[in-house]
Amino acid sequence: MKKVAVILSGSGVFDGAEIHETVISLLALSRAGAEYQCFAPNIAQHHVVNHLTGEVTETEQRNVLVEAARIARGEIQDVAQLNAADFDALLLPGGFGAAKNLSDFAFKGAECQIDANVLKACQAFATAGKAAAYLCISPILIPQVYGHGAKGTIGTDSETAKAFNQLGGEHQACAVTEICVDQERKVISTPAYMLAENIAEAAVGIEKAVDQLLAMA
């Protein structure tokens, strides 16, 4: 049975992990007979967003690991404890948490940095030549994880694609129902809700990414 590490960034599209993307990914992994373990950084969220109004709740603070535990049904560990040797592959769902909590891309663009423990974990899979899948906005992490020339997609958004290239990657335009595969680095990406207009559209690309991930694991 293949084992996949899944790194979450909170709970909720505007300030954490995209819940639809995460659940689709976990369901696809389980249906394919794979075992997964969720992880998240034990840090404060950058901010908390009221998902009903879209406004930042200035007086509220939340922890990324605690919030991500909601999606993982409590079965989650600190990403600092993630040992790539224990797993066959890695998967990162999207959501703005990838750009606000796993990194600061949402605020610094191409000058962004990745959380140290997240970067260490992702690079361990890259160094070991183990397959990884990045969904939605999380592929923006790929250039800093894999180095110059790494291929990936966030769909067709020109500004994000430009930043991907400025970070040293080679962005590939991709439809919502398709995947981008960097065969050399064994890294897969798909636009998901960067382009998807509904959960069914998002599921097509995500399920393809999971299938490819397990095939390369």
Of 38, 112, 122, 136, catalytic: 136
Cα gap 163→149, rounded to integer Å:
13
Q: Judge whether 180 counts as a catalytic residue.
A: no
Q: What angle do CA 148, 152, 155 make, to 5 degrees?
A: 140
Active site residues: 136
